[in-house]
Amino acid sequence: MTQFEYVSVATALLYSIGVGRLLSGLPQVARRGKRSGLTVLWTVDLLL
């Protein structure tokens, strides 16, 4: 494997960990009453 492949796999792993943390925090955010539209759009953008 080349160095590019190692770096791309490491980047994909970091992104997957970040998405997992975002998804695990969604139920907690959904329970709170007040949400900003900008925050919701930012979260959706991060997930996409």
The 10s digit of each residue's pLDDT in 24-40 is: 887 887 777 777 888 87
Count how many domains the chain has: 1
Strands (E), the chain: none
Contact partners, residue 18, CB within 8 Å, separation at least 6: 46
Angle at which helices 3-31 and 37-47 pack, to 10 degrees?
Answer: 150
Neighbours of 21 (CB within 10 A): 9
**pLDDT one-digit tens code per residue, 1-18:** 899 999 999 999 999 998
| pTM for the predicted model, two decimal places | 0.58
Residue 16, domain extent: 3-47
Q: Which amino acid is at 46?
A: L
